[in-house]
Amino acid sequence: MDIDIDEIIERYPGKPEYLIFLMQDIQAAFNYISPEALTLVCDHTGVPESQAYAVATFYGSFSLEPKGENMVQVCLGTACHLKGSGLIAENLMRSIGLEEPGTTEDLKFTVETVNCLGACALAPVAVVNGDYQPKVTSPKLMKKVSKLGSE
């Protein structure tokens, strides 16, 4: 990836109140915050690493692990599960080489399973890069995902 971390860090004055802005920009640029990036941010803002780490783990929008370019969430909540979402999730993971939810080695995809997406009437539901896929089926989801994989 061709983004310069120093350029991001220099966007903000070296003060503790800019910690979250910096973390948001790094998350947006790299899709995650690496340990090296977190150290640079702490050096710049003067925030102790333990505190920055606590912030990173508290907010769901930050990730300390690399995430894929594409995010697929499959709902395994009760309504979706009853309509077969467990098998849909398994088929999807198998097709992209994952044994369990996580990120593919080529960083193309991250698959997460969630407990309810708040759209139970549309079960089974998956979300691909923020787009809800109502009444999803394995073929539909795999078609969508293989299209993204070839982009």
User: What is the contact surface with ligand FES in residues (CB under 6 A)?
Assistant: 75, 77-80, 116-120, 123, 125
| Nearest position to ligand FES, beta carbon | 77
d(CA 44, CA 24): 15
Contact criterion met (CB below 8 Å) for 23 and 51: no
DSSP state of 103: E
User: C-beta of 80: minimal distance to ligand FES in Å?
Assistant: 3
User: C-beta of 98: minimal distance to ligand FES in Å?
Assistant: 20
d(CA 22, CA 82): 42
What values do phi and psi take at 13, rounded to 5?
-65, 155
Closer residue to ligand FES in complex, CB, 107/119: 119
Closer residue to ligand FES in complex, CB, 8/75: 75
Count of beta carbons in the 10 Å neighbourhood of residue 136: 25
User: C-beta of 84: minimal distance to ligand FES in Å?
Assistant: 12
Give the E-state strand segments of 19-75 in sequence order: 70-75
Closer residue to ligand FES in complex, CB, 81/108: 81
User: C-beta of 52: minimal distance to ligand FES in Å?
Assistant: 33
Closer residue to ligand FES in complex, CB, 39/78: 78
Closer residue to ligand FES in complex, CB, 78/129: 78
Contact criterion met (CB below 8 Å) for 72 and 112: yes
**Cα 120 from chain centre:** 22
